[in-house]
Amino acid sequence: MIKNHFIAACAAIMALSAVTAFAKDTAPDQQLLQRGEYLAKAGDCVACHTAKGGKPFAGGLAMPTPIGTVYSSNITPDKEHGIGNYSEDDFDKALRHGIRKDGASLYPAMPYPSYAKVKPADVKALYAYFMNGVQADPTPNRGVDIVWPLSMRWPLSIWRKVFAPAVAVDGADDNSPLARGKYLTEGLGHCGACHTPRGIGMQEKALTDDSTQFLSGGVVEGYLANNLRGDARDGLGSWSEQDIAMFLKTGRNSHSAAFGGMADVVANSTQHMTDDDLMAMAKYLKSLKPVKDGVPALAYDDKTHQALRKGSDQSPGAMGFLNNCAACHRSSGKGWTETFPTLAQSATVNAENPASLIKIVLAGGEMPWTHKAPTQFAMPAFGSRLSDQEVAEIVTFIRSSWGNNAPAVTAGDVAKVRKELPKQAAEASGTVAKQ
C-alpha cells in the first residue's frame, strides 16, 4: 500500500513538473512582448486599426482613397475575424509584403512599402505582442466601398511588384543615432506615407532620401502634411534637433503645434517613444537637404504689428484678423509659446499649398493631450461665421504679414476646402454610403 502511494506521488510530481516545464516553454517572453508593444506604438498601429468608438486594433476605420474608401482590418488575435490563425510568416507577409493570409494583395493604404524596412527581429517582437499582448475582439472586417472593376485586387499584385521595395534582412546593426533615426523614420514611423507626394499610381514618389521628393510634403484628409526637409521657409530648416524632438514628444514647440492627423500621431505614438529614439529621428530629419537649396529664411518684420496697434491698416483682412484671431495669436503674429502657435515665419503658413491653414480656420483644431504637456488647447471653428471671401482675406493677410511671404488665397480656394468638410467628417465617423 505504501509503495503504491509512493509511486502515485512520484507520478504526480513528474506530471506537475512536465506541465510546469511545458508552460514555461510556451509562455510568451515578457521582454519580447514589451519590445513588441513599444514597436507597435512607434508604428502607430492603433491609429489606423481602431475605429472611432471601437475596440483597440479591431479595425473598421474608414480610409479614403482616390478610388473609394477602404476600412482597416481587425488585427487582434481573434481567430475568426482577426489574425489569431496567422503564423509568424503570415504576419510578416501582410506587414512587409502587403499579402494577406489568403494570398490576396492589400491596398497600399496599409504602409507596407515603409514597413518593408522593418527587420525580421522586430517583426518577431511585433508578432509576439499582437498574439499575446492584445485583447482578442470579434469585430467583423468591413468590405471596401470601391466600385467594380476598381475593387478587383489582382492588379494590386502588379502594383506591389512595381512600387514595393525588397524587404530588409537582419544583419550587423549600425547603432549610431543617425542610422537609428533613419530606420525609425523610413520604416516603422512610415512618415513618408503622409509627408511624401504621391504619383499617378498613388505610390509615394520616393521611399528614401535618394530623392528630394521624399518627405517634401503631401496632402492627407484635406491637410497639408508639411515638408520635413531642410527648407528654411516651409520645412524644418529653422528648427533645431531639440525643437523636432520636443514637437514629437509634446505636440508643440516654439514654431508650431500638431493638428489634424499629426495630433493623433503624437498622442498615440511618438509621445510614448524614448527620448533617445526621438532625438535620433530628429537628427535624421535635420540631415535631409532642402528641396529648394539656397532659399533664405524669412525674417520677422514688425510693420504689420505696428500698423495693427495704431489702427492704420483698415483692410478687410486686417480687420478680420483683429476681430477673430488677434486675441490668441496677438497683433505681433507671435502667439504664445506652446499655447497658441506663432503665425510669423510658420512653415504651415508659408507653405505653397494653403490647404491646412484654410481648413484650420474653417473647422478648428485641437492640440494633442500628452503626458509631458497635458493641457489641451483648441482653436474654434470659424466656418459658420465667416464667408469664403472673409476667410480668404484673413488667410491672405496672415500669409503676407510679419515677414511671411506666401501666395494669396481666393474665395474659390476656400470654397473647395469647405465643400470637402462634410465628406471628410462622414469618412472619419465611418458613415460613408456604399457606392
- Which cell is 24 given? 514555461
**pTM for this predicted structure:** 0.88
- Residue 417's contacts (CB-CB under 8 Å, 6 or more residues apart) are 222, 355, 358, 359, 362
In 3D, which of 91, 190, 194 has the Cα closest to residue 134?
91
Q: How much is the pLDDT for 27?
A: 63
Q: How much is the pLDDT for 26?
A: 52
- Which cell is 166 given? 525588397
Q: How much is the pLDDT for 338?
A: 84
Q: How much is the pLDDT for 434?
A: 35
**Over the stretch 80-92, which tens digit does the pLDDT of each residue have?**
999 999 999 999 9
Mean pLDDT of successive 10-residue stretches along the chain, which has 435 residues: 50 48 60 97 96 94 87 96 97 97 92 96 98 96 86 90 93 87 97 95 94 95 92 94 97 93 95 98 98 92 96 95 96 93 95 94 93 91 96 98 96 95 61 40
Q: How much is the pLDDT for 67?
A: 82
Can you tell me the distance from the alpha carbon of 205 to that of 35, in angstroms, rounded to the nearest whole number? 31
Q: How much is the pLDDT for 148?
A: 84
Q: What angle in degrees, to the nearest 10, is found between the helix axes of 388-398 and 411-429? A: 100
